[in-house]
Amino acid sequence: MLRNDVYRRPLATALDRLAVGSGWRVVDVGAGAGDVAVALAEIVGRDGRVYAVDRDPVARDETARAAAAYSQVLAITQRAEDLQLPEPVDLAFCRFVLMHVDDPVSVLARMAAAVRPGGWVVAQEPITSAGRIGGVALSMPGARDPDVGALLPALVRRAGLFLEDAWAEAPAGAGPGPVASYLEDLTGVDPGDDPIVLPPLVTVLGRTGSGVP
């Protein structure tokens, strides 16, 4: 699970770009330990609602613990492929999730179906092989498609969404600091003083139709 991670900045960039605010109803798909759900809860406030969905019941328990102080967070065990919420949301979000699923287009379409007309689907996924430690490309054999970020803008369009914007951001560093700690947590290997570029995270902002012909 990714905790207190250095990818907070790309998250903030995306949420600022949408002007997510008080009272928004949102879903975080593949919520993991709940980092994004808590960040969203702070922004949407008590008048908003954050559904934190994950297929793993352990993730639901971790999110419920992380978000114990936020009554607006509801942690649910559900597969993204079966996503179904009690109400339409303004934003369906996922990060580091489509890289693990068999059919990212159908998950994006499911997220789109959970959103109100004119609402947002935002995905943030890596191009793992574009990351570097000491100039050597990173890999993640455990992921189904560790480079899915490189396809993301096209996948969003194939899911029937309007592609409003897309970009990539990559945290970088050398020597002790948050980037080295993050990498060590993830891989168990201390990168020492090697230069690091973490996998660029591609963000896509997709929008559903307005429903007005």
Q: Does 2 bind ligand SAM (CB under 6 A)?
A: yes
Q: For ligand SAM, which is the closer residue by CB, 44 or 97?
A: 97
- Applying the rule CB under 6 A, the residues between 103 and 142 that interact with ligand SAM are none
Q: Which H or E run contains 202? A: strand 201-207
CB 105 within 8 Å of CB 97: no
Closest distance of CB 193 from ligand SAM, Å? 27
Binding test (CB under 6 A) with ligand SAM, winner from 73, 91, 101, 122: 101
Q: Does 36 bind ligand SAM (CB under 6 A)?
A: yes
| Contacts with 89 (C-beta within 8 Å, 6 or more apart), sequence order | 25, 26, 27, 49, 51, 114, 115, 116, 119
Q: Does 97 bind ligand SAM (CB under 6 A)?
A: yes
CB 35 within 8 Å of CB 95: no
Q: Does 30 bind ligand SAM (CB under 6 A)?
A: yes
Half-sphere exposure of 212 (CA within 13 A, CB side): 2
Q: Does 10 bind ligand SAM (CB under 6 A)?
A: no
- Applying the rule CB under 6 A, the residues between 54 and 83 that interact with ligand SAM are 54-56, 59, 79-81
Instruction: Determine the size of the site formed for ligand SAM (CB under 6 A).
Output: 18
Q: Does 147 bind ligand SAM (CB under 6 A)?
A: no
CA atoms of 88 and 91, how far apart (whole Å): 9
CB 133 within 8 Å of CB 194: yes
CA atoms of 205 and 164, how far apart (whole Å): 5
Binding test (CB under 6 A) with ligand SAM, winner from 100, 112, 155, 182: 100
Binding site for ligand SAM (CB under 6 A): 2, 30-32, 35-36, 54-56, 59, 79-81, 95-97, 100-101
